Structure 1
Amino acid sequence: NMIQPFWALPALAIAGLGAKDIMGYCVLTLIFVGLVVCGVFYFLV
């Protein structure tokens, strides 16, 4: 969902944007959330 957000496609169509317009933000979110999850798992295990 973070790399290819199908939930955003209707909103992008209404706004007249394409998936490529938000892809950079999705990748940054994927990296940030991945680091947070890895950090939490590191401290829990």
Structure 2
Amino acid sequence: MSKSIKLLAAIGFVAAVSACAQQEEEYVVVEPEPISVEPVYTGKYK
């Protein structure tokens, strides 16, 4: 085999191994937003 084919095969192998490597899952906690805002008392007539 020529050197260029061996080089391309090696690069492809390294890319495949790195793509299939065990990846640590990221744990994200999202605070839920309130569904509605409670009305603020402003007086009977305004």
For this structure pair, what is the TM-score category when the shorter chain's length is used for normalisation? 0.3 to 0.5
Q: Which has the higher helix share?
A: 1
Q: Larger RCO: Structure 1 or Structure 2 (Cα < 8 Å, ≥ 6 residues apart)?
A: 1
What TM-score comes out, normalization by structure 2 length? 0.44
- When Rg is computed on C-alpha atoms for both structures, the one with the higher figure is 2
